[in-house]
Chains A and B, each alone.
Chain A
Amino acid sequence: MDLSLSPSETEFRDEVRTWLEENNPGPEPETSLDEVIAYRREWQAKLHAASWAGISWPEEYGGRGATLIEQAIFVGEAARAETPSPANVLGLAMGGPVVIAHGSDEQKQRYLEPILTADEIWCQGFSEPESGSDLASLKTKAVKDGDEWVVTGQKVWTTLAQFAKWCMLVARTDPDAPKHKGLTYFLMDMEQEGVETKPLVQITGEGEFNEVFMEEARIPEENVVGGVGNGWSVAITTLMNERAGLAFGAIAQVANSLKRLGRLASETRVNGHSAAEDPLLRDRIAQLHIEAETMRLNAYRGLTKTMQSGIPGPEGSLGKWQWADINQRIAELALDIEGGYATLARGAEHAVANGAWQYSFLRSRANSIEGGTTDILKNIIAERVLGLPRLR
Chain B
Amino acid sequence: MYFDLNDEQQAIKSTAKEFLAARYKSERIRELIETEHGFDPADWEEMAELGWTGLALPEQWGGQGLGLVELAVLFEEIGYALAPSPLFSSTAAGLALATNGTEAQRERWLPQLASGEARATLALFDAGRPAVIGGFAMEARPDGDGVVLDGAKALVEDAAAADFMLVATSDTRRHLVERDADGVTIEAEESIDPTRRLYTVRFDGVRVDPDATLEGTQENYRPILWRGAVAVAAESTGVAQRAMEMAVAYAKEREQFGRPIGAYQAVSHRCAQMLLETENARSAVYGAAWAADAEPESLPKAAAMAKAYASDAGWRVPDASIQAHGGIGFTWEHDLHFFLKRGRANASRFGDARWHREQVADLVLAEAEAPVPA
Contact between B361 and A286 (Cβ–Cβ < 8 Å)?
A: yes
> How many angstroms from the CA of A294 to the CA of B357 in the assembled complex?
14
A-side contacts of B269, CB under 8 Å: 375, 378-379, 382
Provide the residues of chain B in CB contact with A293, threshold 8 Å: 284, 287, 302, 305
Known: A2-B294, A262-B365, A282-B358. A318 touches B276 (CB 8 A): yes
Return the chain A residue nearest B313 by Cβ: A294
Which chain A positions have C-beta within 8 A of B305?
A: 289-290, 293-294
B104 is an interface residue with CB less than 8 A from chain A:
no
In the complex, per-residue mask of B339-357: 1 if CB is within 8 Å of any chain A CB, else 0: 0000000000000001001
Task: Give residues 343-392 of A contacting B (CB, 8 Å).
Answer: 375, 377-379, 381-383, 385-391
B373 to chain A, nearest CB (A): 5
Q: B315 an interface residue at 8 Å Cβ cutoff?
A: no
Which of chain A's residues have a CB closer than 8 A to the CB of B279? Answer: 294, 298, 315, 318
* Nearest CB of A to B239, in Å: 17
Instruction: Say yes or no: A263 contacts B368, CB within 8 Å.
Output: yes
Closest CB-CB distance, A95 to chain B, in whole Å? 29
Contact partners of A294 in chain B: CB under 8 A: 279-281, 283-284, 305, 309
- Chain B residues whose CB sits within 8 angstroms of the CB of A266 once the complex forms: 365, 368-369
CB distance from A325 to the nearest CB of B (A): 9
Which residue of chain A lies nearest to B368 when distances are taken between CB atoms in the complex? A262
| Partner-binding segment picked from A103-111, A160-168, A198-206, A253-261 | A253-261
Which residues on the A side are within 8 Å of B361 (C-beta)? Answer: 282-283, 285-286
Asked if A1 meets B260 with Cβ closer than 8 Å, knowing A385-B275, A386-B248, the reply is no
In angstroms, how far is the closest chain A Cβ from the Cβ of B302? 8
Size category, B interface: 35 or more
List B1-56 residues whose CB lies under 8 Å from chain A: 1-6, 9
Question: In the complex, are the beta carbons of B1 and A297 less than 8 A apart?
Answer: no
With A81-B373, A382-B268 already in contact, the answer to whether A305 and B276 are too (CB < 8 A) is: no
Question: Could you tell me the distance in whole angstroms from the C-beta of A319 to the nearest C-beta in chain B?
Answer: 10
Residues of B within 8 A of A383 (CB): 268
Within 8 A of A (CB), among B319-355: 354
Q: Are B365 and A3 in contact (CB under 8 A)?
A: no
A2 to chain B, nearest CB (A): 5
CB of A285 within 8 A of CB of B265, answer: no
A5 at the interface (CB under 8 A from B): yes
Measured CB to CB, the closest approach of chain A to B24, in angstroms, equals: 24
Residue numbers in B under 8 Å from A237 (CB-CB) = none
**Complex contact B365–A265 (CB within 8 A):** yes
Contact A4-B1, Cβ < 8 Å, known A297-B284, A378-B268:
yes
Q: Is the CB of A297 within 8 A of B357?
A: no
Judged by a CB distance under 8 angstroms, whether A131 is at the interface is: no
How many Å lie between the Cα of A382 and that of B248 in the bound state?
A: 9
B263 CB within 8 Å of chain A = yes
Please give, as numbers and ranges, the residues of chain B lying within 8 Å of A289 by CB-CB distance. Answer: 305, 360, 364
Chain B minimum-CB-distance residue to A257: B372
Q: How many A-B residue pairs have CB under 8 A?
A: 177
Chain A residues within 8 Å of B302, by CB = 293
Residues of chain A contacted by B364 (CB below 8 angstroms) = 258, 262, 285-286, 289
Q: Does B297 contact A (CB under 8 A)?
A: no
Contact A389 B260 (CB under 8 A): yes
Q: A260-B372, A286-B308, A286-B360 are in contact. Are A381 and B275 (CB under 8 A)?
A: yes
Interface residue from B9, B259, B271, B360 paired with A1 (Cβ < 8 Å) = B9
Task: Check B295 for interface membership: any CB of A closer than 8 A.
Answer: yes
Verify B252–A381 contact, CB threshold 8 A: no
Q: Are B1 and A2 in contact (CB-based, < 8 A)?
A: yes
Q: Are B1 and A386 in contact (CB under 8 A)?
A: no
A318 in contact with B373 given A1-B290, A9-B1, A297-B287 (CB within 8 Å): no
B54 nearest CB across to chain A (Å)? 21
A144 within 8 A of B: no
A260 to B290, CA, bound (A): 28
- B78 in the interface, Cβ–Cβ < 8 Å? no
**Given A3-B1, A300-B1, A321-B276 in contact, is the A388-B374 Cβ separation under 8 Å?**
no
B374 near A3 (CB under 8 angstroms)?
A: no
Find out whether the CB atom of B368 lies under 8 angstroms from the CB atom of A290: no
Residue B367 lies at the interface, judged by CB distance under 8 Å to chain A: yes
| Neighbouring A residues of B365 by C-beta, 8 Å | 262, 265-266, 276, 282, 285
Establish whether residues B372 and A259, one from each chain, have CB atoms under 8 Å apart when the complex forms.
yes
Q: How far is the CA of A385 from the CA of B287 in the complex (A)?
A: 23
- CB within 8 Å of A: which of B191-239? none
CB-CB < 8 A to B373: which residues of A? Answer: 80-82, 256
Does B114 make an interface contact (CB < 8 A)? no
Contact of B5 among A1, A69, A391 (CB under 8 A): A1
Q: Does B272 lie at the interface of the complex (its beta carbon under 8 Å from any beta carbon of A)?
A: yes
B contact residues around A379 at 8 Å (CB): 265, 268-269
Residue contact B2 to A387, C-beta cutoff 8 Å: no
Residue-wise, chain A 16-30 has the 8 Å CB interface mask toward B (1 for contact) of 000000000011000
Complex formed: what's the CA distance from A259 to B365 in Å? 8
Map CB proximity to B onto A206-230 as digits: 1 under 8 Å, 0 otherwise: 0000000000000000000000000
Asked if B252 contacts A304 (CB within 8 A), the reply is no
The residue of chain B having its C-beta at the shortest distance from the C-beta of A2 within the complex is B2
Q: Which residues of A contact B374 (CB under 8 A)?
A: 26-27, 82
State A261–B103 Cα separation when bound (angstroms).
49
Bound Cα distance from A389 to B252, whole angstroms = 7
Q: Are A290 and B1 in contact (CB under 8 A)?
A: no
Q: Counting CB contacts under 8 A, is A85 at the interface?
A: no
Q: Which of A82, A286, A303, A322 has the most CB of B within 10 A?
A: A286
CB–CB A304/B308 < 8 A: no
Q: Of B6, B252, B290, which contacts A3 at CB under 8 A?
A: B290
Q: Are B309 and A378 in contact (CB under 8 A)?
A: no
Binary flags per residue of B175-188, CB closer than 8 Å to A gives 1, else 0: 00000000000000
Contact, CB under 8 Å: A290 / B360: yes
Answer whether residue A271 sits at the interface, using C-beta atoms and an 8 A cutoff: no
Of A1, A282, A290, A315, which contacts B284 at CB under 8 A? A290
Is A5 a contact of B1 with CB atoms below 8 Å? Answer: yes
Q: With the chains together, A221 CA to B327 CA distance in Å?
A: 60
Partner of B290, one of A2, A26, A291: A2
Is B155 part of the contact surface with A, judged by Cβ < 8 Å? no
B83 interfacial contact with A, CB 8 Å: no
Q: Which residues of B contact A377 (CB under 8 A)?
A: 272
Q: Within the assembled complex, what's the spacing in Å between the Cα atoms of A333 and B122?
A: 39
Interface residues of B in 63-120 (CB under 8 A from A): 69
Could you show 15 A-B contacts with beta carbons less than 8 Å apart?
A: A3-B290, A9-B1, A81-B373, A259-B368, A262-B368, A263-B368, A286-B308, A286-B360, A289-B364, A294-B283, A304-B2, A377-B272, A383-B268, A388-B262, A391-B265
Q: A82-B373, A261-B368, A279-B358 are in contact. List 7 more A-B contacts (CB 8 A).
A: A9-B1, A263-B372, A283-B354, A294-B305, A379-B265, A382-B269, A386-B271
Interchain residue pairs A-B with the least CB separation, the first 4: A262-B368, A297-B283, A382-B268, A294-B280
